[in-house]
Structure formats: C-alpha cells, structure tokens
Chains A and B, each alone.
Chain A
C-alpha cells in the first residue's frame, strides 16, 4: 500500500516527464525556425519581393536582385495543383464519408493511403512522363500535375473527416423533405462542413508548397519572370523550395544569403497556412 506522499511524488514525476518530452519535441521546431530567421531576415527587403534573380553576376555586382518570380511561381503552380486536385480529393472524400457501404470504398481507401505514402519524387516522375515528355518542355503545368498528386490524398482525408463530423440528423432532415441523396450531401452537409473542407485545402496547399523533389524535373526552375503570364503555365517556372536548393548549392555567397531569405519566406508562408487552418477548425465552445 503506497502512502499518499509516494503517490504524490510519482504523480509529480510523471507530470515533469510530460513537460520534458513536450519541450524535447518543440525544441527542433524552435531551433529550425530560429536558425532560418536569424540567417535570412537580413536579406529580406523590398527588392527581394520585386526583382527577378537574373544571372549570378547581378547579385555579385550588387545590382538589385530578388525572388519575385519564385514567389509568384510558387503561387501559380500550387494554385494550378489545387484546381486539379480539389475536385478529385473532394469526390473521394465524399465517397468515403457519404456512401460507406459502396463496394469500391475499400479499394479507394487503399489507393488513397498508398498515394499518400508514395515518395513525392515518384509523383514528379509520373508528371514528367505524362506532361513534360509529350510537351517537350518543362512547365508550370507539369509542376502543377506533380503537386496535384501530392494534394489529392490530403484533401480526400480532410474531406472525409470534415463530413463525418456533421451529425446524421442533418442528412435525415434533408432526406425527409424528399431530396435525393446527392442533393442532401451537396446542399446541406457540405456547406455545414465548409470550414473543415477549406482547412483541408489549406493544409494540402501548405504541404505542396514545401515540396522540392517533384518540381526539379517538372517545373524545373527559372531565373526570370516570363514575358507573358502564359509562360508560367507552359514554360519552366521557379518555385521556392526548388530555388532554395539551387541557391544553397551554388558557389556564390550572395546567393546563399538569398537562399536563407527564401527559407524565411517559405517558413512564414507554410506556418501561416497551418496556423490559419488550426484557428478555423478550433472547437467553439457551445454556451
């Protein structure tokens, strides 16, 4: 029979261990964020957001240089990916949540989980075969396709989760007024789950924004802004993670500095998206 004091000591020990492990988990995150910001913040300037990269001599000669084409490129490629991935991801999520007895569902679930676990570089390879080779050129479109493969399983999972939080009574109410099932899902269930659905898009966008490998040989990279906006779809495009890599392995210290700054922008962008998603889906306490 343990005494009260012994139990209290053990209790405090456990709480202490929990605090310690929390700190342990957060430490790498804090270190990464801190290290990137400390190294990159000094290179952030107006030029950074308004100038193209150009050739290495531009940076070495101190002429204005920046990554505006990279930031825009990231937004364009990721948006294209989202446009392609959203219908497929939503469709899969709806199927899994609303028609759970459908005989295709086990297969759908396995395929979704497999796609999710597949290394992103292989998705890039698929996009290379499907888009780059027939087109004969690297393009933002190919990058979008590669990232769409990354986004689809994320959106599907988030959609299924979001729809499953909507109580059955809403669907019942819709069916009871003689609405067909697809109409009930589209017009009563999905609007009710819209916050969760949007968060799924945000998380997928954030994930895709951080992918470098699949873009190396699909959108490939570009040191300049294209002449026409269509150049971002049909020609090579620069994206943040891929550009970060290129700058980091280059032999120019000015470019290294820009790489750190790219890291800061990417970090802020991704953290911002994740944070927004968390805020949107926080539990609102019912009074």
Chain B
C-alpha cells in the first residue's frame, strides 16, 4: 500500500501518518457537525484540536473511533483511515476499532462497582481473558505508564471511586492503555482537574506520545502549545488551518486563526 509518508518510516517501521481523515463530514439530522475535514494524524506525535465552543473539534474526535455509531441520527460521509484502511468500511467491526483507538473523556468515569485493579484490566477481563499473571502484569504496566502505580499499588482492591479526581483521570488513561491501543484520543482530559493534576497529565502526554499517536481536544490554547507537535484549528465545523504547533502559534497562515489565538473571539 503506497501512502504519502511511506518514505518517512518511523522508528517502528509504521508510516509516519497513522490516521487520516479524508473529506469527513458528520451531520446530525439537518445540523452539520463538521464539514469536509481532511487532515493527518502523525504517529508518535501529539496533535491538538483547538477552536471556540461548538466548532466541531469534539465531533471530529468522536468520528475517529466510531463513537457516533451510537448517536441516533448521525450521518458520516467521507473516510477515516487507520494505517491506510477505512474504519467506516461496512465489513469493519467497530468494537475492534475501539480497541485500537482508545479514548479518554473529560470527566473521569471509573466503573463505580469495580476495584482499581478491575477498572484497569476491564478491557481484558470483560472479554474473557482470565490469566491472573497476565492481568497482574498488564495492570502494573498500564498503571506505570499512566504514572499512577506508585500511588495506588498498595490499594489495588479499593473502589475505583475512592481516589482523587486527578488520580481517577490517570486511572481512565491506564484503562485505555491496558488494551494496548495504537492511537489515543483525549477529549479535554484536564478540563475538570485542578492545575496540579492537569500538569501531571500533561507530563504524561509527553511520555505517551513517544509510543502512541495522540489526538487531544483542548479549549486551553496554552495547553495545546505545551503538549502538541501539530495543531488543527477548527471553526464553525470546518478545518481552518493545520500545521506544526510552533508555526501555527507564532505565524498563523489564516486571519481567523490569528484572531482566535490573540483572543479577538472564542
């Protein structure tokens, strides 16, 4: 398969472009969420989606792992490619897609009736994997990756809801990491957290982007500047500009982008 970017093979031998949206349009009934979006998601890099409220960045994010399948009158047209294959192809199983493209939400939602351990390995245990050694291994690996291991290793059996908000969010990230996805989508992951927890999550993103492709929606421009390598600016459902973060922030090509960045609206 010849993909643009095949020449730039990453260290893992996977194409530099992990995912790609091609002419993606999402409509809810008569309302258009996003219109004709085409953009790449680079492997081992973090891509930030910024824009004012209602601009379509979350709608776009959710289209990347077929979360709109559960929305009543959502209509998707266009393609979303993962390693060159359209995830919306009729033969593709969305459950399989969501194991490869994980998602972390704004409000951390640990499963309330499960322990911390069970929360982390839910993606394995609930599909039938029972090997205790494997589960313990995966739990430790995921919690370490999420920088939560040291804080909870002595109370893995306590309830998922018994830890602080910031810890719960890292638990949600560990839960997503446990199934070993290829891409991680984050929908405003630090919006409901205090500054200390937020900065811990941002550190985490820096570590994670060495191994995964990350797409993060944020309404905090400074956060986008801090954590991402590429940034996409959305406005009224359209992709206005996409480019390397440093370039977009210091020398935006479009006037709208500049107006948003300098706070003239949004």
* Interface assignment of A178: CB less than 8 Å from any CB of chain B: yes
Residue picked from A169, A173, A178, most chain B C-beta under 10 Å: A178
Query: If the complex has contacts A169-B105, A179-B123, are A174 and B111 also in contact, measured as CB distance less than 8 A?
Result: yes
- Contact residue among B72, B96, B114, B122 (Cβ-Cβ distance under 8 Å from A177): B122
- CB contacts under 8 Å to A, within B164-214, are 172, 175-176, 178-179
- CB contacts under 8 Å to A, within B104-128, are 104-105, 107, 109, 111-114, 122-123, 126-127
Q: Which residues of B contact A169 (CB under 8 A)?
A: 105, 107, 109
Residue picked from A170, A177, A179, A188, most chain B C-beta under 10 Å: A177
Q: Which residues of A contact B113 (CB under 8 A)?
A: 188, 191-192, 194
* Interface assignment of A136: CB less than 8 Å from any CB of chain B: no
Q: Are B109 and A178 in contact (CB under 8 A)?
A: no
- Measured CB to CB, the nearest residue on chain B to A172 is B105
Residue picked from B96, B99, B107, B113, most chain A C-beta under 10 Å: B113
Q: Which residues of B contact A179 (CB under 8 A)?
A: 95, 122-123, 126-127
* Interface assignment of A58: CB less than 8 Å from any CB of chain B: no
Query: If the complex has contacts A179-B127, A192-B113, are A173 and B105 also in contact, measured as CB distance less than 8 A?
Result: yes
Q: Which residues of B contact A101 (CB under 8 A)?
A: 72
Residue picked from A176, A179, A180, A194, most chain B C-beta under 10 Å: A176
- CB contacts under 8 Å to B, within A184-232, are 187-188, 191-192, 194
- Measured CB to CB, the nearest residue on chain A to B112 is A192
* Interface assignment of B1: CB less than 8 Å from any CB of chain A: no
- Contact residue among B70, B107, B127 (Cβ-Cβ distance under 8 Å from A183): B127
* Interface assignment of B67: CB less than 8 Å from any CB of chain A: yes
Q: Are B72 and A180 in contact (CB under 8 A)?
A: no
* Interface assignment of B57: CB less than 8 Å from any CB of chain A: no
Q: Which residues of B contact A167 (CB under 8 A)?
A: 109
Q: Are B102 and A176 in contact (CB under 8 A)?
A: yes
Residue picked from B100, B107, B111, B176, most chain A C-beta under 10 Å: B111
Q: Which residues of A contact B70 (CB under 8 A)?
A: 175
Q: Are B98 and A175 in contact (CB under 8 A)?
A: yes
Q: Are B103 and A183 in contact (CB under 8 A)?
A: no
Q: Are A192 and B67 in contact (CB under 8 A)?
A: no
Return B146 CB to nearest CB of chain A, in Å.
14
Q: Are A178 and B99 in contact (CB under 8 A)?
A: yes
Q: Are A177 and B102 in contact (CB under 8 A)?
A: yes
Q: Are B179 and A178 in contact (CB under 8 A)?
A: yes
- CB contacts under 8 Å to A, within B1-43, are none
- Measured CB to CB, the nearest residue on chain A to B107 is A169
Q: Are A192 and B72 in contact (CB under 8 A)?
A: no
Q: Are B126 and A187 in contact (CB under 8 A)?
A: yes
Q: Which residues of A contact B96 (CB under 8 A)?
A: 178
Return B10 CB to nearest CB of chain A, in Å.
24
Q: Which residues of B contact A192 (CB under 8 A)?
A: 111-113
* Interface assignment of B65: CB less than 8 Å from any CB of chain A: yes
Q: Are A177 and B111 in contact (CB under 8 A)?
A: no
Q: Bound state CA distance, A170 and B172, in angstroms?
A: 12
Q: Which residues of B contact A180 (CB under 8 A)?
A: 95
Q: Bound state CA distance, A177 and B67, in angstroms?
A: 11
Tell me the A residues contacting B by CB distance below 8 Å. 101, 167, 169-170, 172-180, 183, 187-188, 191-192, 194
Cross-chain pairs A/B with CB under 8 angstroms, 11 sampled: A170-B111, A172-B109, A176-B103, A176-B104, A176-B105, A177-B98, A177-B99, A177-B176, A177-B179, A180-B95, A191-B111
Tell me the B residues contacting A by CB distance below 8 Å. 65, 67, 70, 72, 95-100, 102-105, 107, 109, 111-114, 122-123, 126-127, 172, 175-176, 178-179
Extra contacts besides A172-B67, A177-B175, A179-B126 (4): CB < 8 Å: A170-B109, A173-B111, A174-B111, A177-B98
